[in-house]
C-alpha cells in the first residue's frame, strides 16, 4: 500500500523543509518569548501593556487567520510601501519568510506565558542575593535566573514545540512546498491521496516521537539534584 | 482601508459564524461523550483494553489536524469499497468529513485530559470510598469522576479554545466558516486587511465569550474551595 511511485524523494524534500521551518520558527518564538516575558514582568507600564496585548490578541485568533492576514496583507502592505521608497517593481512575499515569521510570532505569545511562569518560579531571594553581591542586572539574569528557570520552562516549552510542529502543516495552504503540499501534489498526480497523506501522518508521528524522547531526556538532565515529591 | 465592503457582505460572515459554531459545538459534544468512557477504560490495567486507546490518542495527538482532515476528506475516495458502500453518502460531503475529523481529534485530546485528572485523584478519596463499601462502578460515578471533572475543567477550557481555532481549517476543504467567509471576501475584492481582520474580530469575540462563560462555571464548580 505504501508504494510511493517515485514520489519518495520529493516527500523527503518536503520533510526537510518542514524541519527547517520548525527550527527557524522556534528560534524566533524563543526570542520573542523571552522578550515578552521580561516585558510582562517589568515595572514599566507601557511595556507591560504591550506584552499583555500581544499575548491576548494572539491567543484569541486562529493561526490560519493570522497566517492569511500576514501573507496576503503583508503582500499588499509591502507593495504600497515599495513605491514610497522609490521601488517600482511588484514584490512577492517569500512564503517561507511569511510562514516562519507568522508561526514564530504566534508561538512567541505562548512562549511568553511559559517563560513568565518559569521566571516567577525562581525564588526572589536568589535574585536578591545576587544583587547584594553587587552583580549587574544582566549578570543576575544570565547566572542566576536563566539556569534555574530552564527546569521550570521545559514542560511548557515541550508542549509549545509539539503544537508548533503540527501548526507548520498550515504553510502548505499559502503555497510553501512543505511535506503536506508535496503529498497533495503527489496525491493529485497518482490519485492515491490516502497513501500519501498517511505517509505524511507517519512522518509527523516520527518527528513527534523523537521530540518527546529528547524532551524527556532534557527534563531529566535539568531536574538532576531536585527531589520529586 | 475600506470597511464598507464588510458591511455589504456581513451576511456571509454571519453564515460563516453559524457554520463555525455548529462545527465546534457538535464535535466538542460528541467528542466529550465518547471521551469519558474511553478515558475510564484507558486507566484500566489490562493492556488489551488500555493499549488500543493509547495508540488512538497517540496517533491523533501526534499528527496535525489538517492532515487528519485530508486523510478523511480526500483519502477515503481512494477505496472502491468505500465508494460503493452507503457510507459514501457521508464521506463525499466536506461538512461531514470536517465534523468527523474534528470529533476524532478533540476526542483524543479530551481522553488525555480526563485520564490525567482521573489519575491525579487523591488516594484518600478513593480509599474513603472503598472503606465505605462502594463498588467500583459507584466509586467512579460518585467520587472519582466528579472530582476528576473539576480538575479537568481548566485544561478542557483550553481544548475548547483550541477546537474553535482549529475549526478555521474547515475553510480549506471548501466549507464556509468564518475564515471561509473572509477568504471569499478577500478573493472578491482583494482586500486582505478588511476581510481577515473582521474574521479575527469574530474569533476574538467568541473566544472572550467562551472564556467568560467558563470562568463563571469554574466559580460554580469550585464553590466549595472558595475562601470567604
The ipTM estimated for the assembled molecules is: 0.87
Residues 6+ apart with CB under 8 A from B134: B142, B143
Q: How confident is the model at residue B40, as a pLDDT?
A: 92
Number of separate domains in chain A: 1
The answer to whether residue A222 sits within a structural domain is: no
We report the CATH number of the domain holding residue A87 as: 1.10.3720.10
Which 8-state DSSP code applies to residue A61?
S
Residues of A in contact with B161 (CB under 8 A): 59
Whose cell is 521550570? That residue is A152
Binary contact (A60, B164; C-beta < 8 A): no
State the cell numbers at B216. 463563571
State the cell numbers at A23. 527550527
Higher pLDDT, residue B50 or A80? B50
Q: Can you tell me the mean pLDDT for B119-138?
A: 91
Counted across chains A and B, CB pairs separated by less than 8 A come out at: 116
Backbone dihedral region for residue A6 (phi beyond 0: left; psi -120 to 50: alpha; all else: beta):
left
Binary contact (A63, B165; C-beta < 8 A): yes
For B184-194, what is each residue's pLDDT tens digit? 998 888 888 88
Q: Does the CA dihedral A81-A85-A87-A93 come out positive or negative?
A: negative
Confidence of residue A222 (pLDDT cuts 50, 70, 90): confident
Choose among A60, A167, A204: nearest Cβ to B204: A60
Residues of B in contact with A73 (CB under 8 A): 192-193, 196
Confidence of residue A2 (pLDDT cuts 50, 70, 90): low
Which positions in chain B have a beta carbon within 8 angstroms of at least one beta carbon in chain A?
Answer: 58-59, 61-68, 70-71, 74-79, 161, 164-169, 171-172, 179, 182-183, 186, 190, 192-193, 196-197, 199-200, 203-204, 207-208
Is a pLDDT exceeding 90 seen at residue A161?
Answer: yes
For A74-106, what is each residue's pLDDT tens digit? 888 888 887 777 777 777 778 888 889 889 999
- Stretch 115-174 of chain A: residues touching chain B, C-beta under 8 Å: 166-170, 172-173
Binary contact (A184, B71; C-beta < 8 A): no
8 Å CB contact between A68 and B192: yes
What is the distance between the alpha carbons of residues A57 and A54, in angstroms, rounded to a whole number?
A: 5
First to last CA, chain A: 49
Where is average pLDDT lowest: A171-175, B71-75, B177-181? A171-175
The answer to whether residue A188 sits within a structural domain is: no
Which 8-state DSSP code applies to residue B223?
G
The answer to whether residue A220 sits within a structural domain is: no
A69 touches chain B (CB under 8 A): yes
- Domain architecture of chain B: domains with CATH: 4-225 (1.10.3720.10)
- Stretch 183-212 of chain A: residues touching chain B, C-beta under 8 Å: 183-184, 187, 191-195, 197-198, 200-201, 204-205, 208-209
8 Å CB contact between B198 and A54: no
State the cell numbers at A28. 524566533
How would you write B165-216 as a 3-class SS string? HHHHHHHHHCCCCHHHHHHHHHHHHCCHHHHHHHHHHHHHHHHHHHHHHHHH
Domain that holds residue A153: 25-176
Average pLDDT of chain A?
88
Choose among A66, A76, A205: nearest Cβ to B62: A205
The answer to whether residue A60 sits within a structural domain is: yes
What is the distance between the alpha carbons of residues B203 and A122, in angstroms, rounded to a whole number?
A: 35
What is the distance between the alpha carbons of residues B111 and B185, in angstroms, rounded to a whole number?
A: 38
What is the distance between the alpha carbons of residues B38 and B36, in angstroms, rounded to a whole number?
A: 5
Residue A166's closest CA among A183, A150, A179, A148? A179
Confidence of residue B218 (pLDDT cuts 50, 70, 90): confident
The CA distance from A182 to the nearest CA of chain B, in Å, is 12
DSSP code per residue over B11-69 = HHHHHHHHHHHHHHHHHHHHHHHHHHHHHHHHT-S-HHHHHHHHHHHHHHHHS-HHHHH
Residues of B in contact with A168 (CB under 8 A): 64
Binary contact (B200, A61; C-beta < 8 A): yes
Where are the alpha helices (H) located in B63-177, listed in sequence order? Answer: 65-73, 80-84, 88-91, 94-119, 123-131, 136-139, 145-166
8 Å CB contact between B170 and B177: yes
The answer to whether residue A85 sits within a structural domain is: yes
Which chain A residue has the Cα nearest residue B57? A205
What is the distance between the alpha carbons of residues B5 and A229, in angstroms, rounded to a whole number?
A: 59
Confidence of residue B23 (pLDDT cuts 50, 70, 90): very high
Q: Can you tell me the mean pLDDT for B158-180?
A: 93
The answer to whether residue A9 sits within a structural domain is: no
Is a pLDDT exceeding 60 seen at residue A229?
Answer: no
Percentage of chain A with pLDDT > 70? 98
A215 touches chain B (CB under 8 A): no
The answer to whether residue A1 sits within a structural domain is: no
The CA distance from B62 to the nearest CA of chain A, in Å, is 5
Q: Can you tell me the mean pLDDT for A63-73?
A: 88
Count of CA atoms in the C-beta half-sphere (13 A) of B190: 3
Q: How confident is the model at residue A114, as a pLDDT?
A: 92
The CA distance from B126 to the nearest CA of chain A, in Å, is 20
Residue A221's closest CA among A147, A170, A168? A147
Confidence of residue A22 (pLDDT cuts 50, 70, 90): very high
Binary contact (A62, B63; C-beta < 8 A): no
Residue A168's closest CA among A115, A109, A208? A208
State the cell numbers at B89. 453518502
Q: Is A68 helix (H, G, I), strand (E, B) or coil?
A: helix
The CA distance from B120 to the nearest CA of chain A, in Å, is 14
What is the distance between the alpha carbons of residues B38 and B56, in angstroms, rounded to a whole number?
A: 11
The CA distance from B99 to the nearest CA of chain A, in Å, is 18
Average pLDDT of chain B?
91
- CA geometry: angle B202, B208, B214, nearest 5 deg: 135
Residues 6+ apart with CB under 8 A from A40: A48, A51, A52, A55, A112, A116
Q: Can you tell me the mean pLDDT for A182-200?
A: 89
Best of A3, A11, A55, A61 to substitute, by most chain B Cβ atoms within 10 angstroms, is A61
The answer to whether residue A137 sits within a structural domain is: yes
Binary contact (B200, A75; C-beta < 8 A): no
Amino acid at each position: 500500500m505504501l508504494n510511493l511511485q517515485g514520489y519518495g524523494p520529493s516527500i523527503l524534500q518536503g520533510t526537510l523543509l518542514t524541519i527547517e521551518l520548525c527550527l527557524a520558527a522556534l528560534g524566533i518564538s524563543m526570542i520573542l518569548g523571552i522578550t515578552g516575558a521580561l516585558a510582562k514582568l517589568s515595572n514599566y507600564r507601557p511595556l507591560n501593556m504591550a506584552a499583555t496585548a500581544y499575548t491576548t490578541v494572539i491567543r484569541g485568533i486562529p493561526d490560519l487567520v493570522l497566517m492569511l492576514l500576514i501573507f496576503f496583507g503583508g503582500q499588499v502592505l509591502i507593495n504600497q510601501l515599495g513605491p514610497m521608497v522609490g521601488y517600482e517593481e511588484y514584490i512577492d512575499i517569500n512564503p517561507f519568510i511569511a510562514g516562519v515569521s507568522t508561526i514564530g510570532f504566534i508561538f512567541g505569545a505562548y512562549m511568553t506565558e511559559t517563560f513568565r511562569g518559569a521566571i516567577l518560579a525562581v525564588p526572589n531571594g536568589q535574585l536578591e542575593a545576587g544583587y547584594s553581591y553587587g552583580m549587574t542586572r544582566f549578570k543576575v539574569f544570565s547566572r542566576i535566573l536563566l539556569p534555574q528557570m530552564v527546569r521550570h520552562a521545559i514542560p511548557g516549552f515541550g508542549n509549545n514545540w509539539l503544537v508548533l510542529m503540527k501548526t507548520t502543516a498550515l504553510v502548505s495552504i499559502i503555497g510553501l512546498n512543505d511535506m503536506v503540499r508535496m503529498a497533495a501534489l503527489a496525491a493529485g498526480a497518482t490519485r492515491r491521496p490516502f497513501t500519501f497523506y498517511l505517509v505524511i501522518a507517519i512522518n509527523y508521528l516520527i518527528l513527534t516521537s523523537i521530540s518527546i524522547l529528547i524532551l524527556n531526556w532534557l527534563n531529566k538532565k535539568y531536574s538532576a539534584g531536585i527531589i520529586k515529591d | 482601508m475600506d470597511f464598507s465592503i464588510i458591511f455589504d457582505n456581513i451576511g456571509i460572515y454571519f453564515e460563516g459564524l453559524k457554520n463555525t459554531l455548529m462545527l465546534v459545538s457538535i464535535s466538542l459534544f460528541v467528542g466529550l461523550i465518547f471521551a469519558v468512557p474511553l478515558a475510564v477504560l484507558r486507566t484500566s490495567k489490562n493492556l488489551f483494553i488500555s493499549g488500543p486507546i493509547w495508540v488512538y490518542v497517540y496517533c491523533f495527538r501526534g499528527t496535525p489536524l489538517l492532515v487528519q482532515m485530508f486523510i478523511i476528506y480526500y483519502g477515503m475516495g481512494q477505496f472502491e469499497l468505500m465508494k460503493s458502500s452507503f457510507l459514501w453518502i457521508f464521506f463525499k460531503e466536506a461538512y461531514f468529513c470536517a465534523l468527523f475529523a474534528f470529533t476524532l481529534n478533540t476526542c483524543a485530546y479530551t481522553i488525555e485530559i480526563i485520564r490525567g485528572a482521573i489519575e491525579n485523584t487523591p488516594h484518600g478519596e478513593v480509599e474513603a470510598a472503598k472503606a465505605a463499601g462502594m463498588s467500583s462502578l459507584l466509586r467512579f460515578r460518585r467520587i472519582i469522576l466528579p472530582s476528576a471533572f473539576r480538575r479537568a475543567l481548566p485544561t478542557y477550557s483550553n481544548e475548547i479554545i483550541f477546537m474553535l481555532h482549529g475549526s478555521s481549517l474547515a475553510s480549506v476543504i471548501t466549507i464556509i466558516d468564518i475564515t471561509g467567509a473572509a477568504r471569499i471576501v478577500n478573493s472578491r475584492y482583494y482586500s486582505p486587511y478588511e476581510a481577515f481582520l473582521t474574521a479575527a474580530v469574530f474569533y476574538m469575540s467568541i473566544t472572550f465569550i467562551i472564556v467568560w462563560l467558563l470562568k463563571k462555571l469554574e466559580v460554580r464548580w469550585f464553590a466549595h474551595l472558595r475562601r470567604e
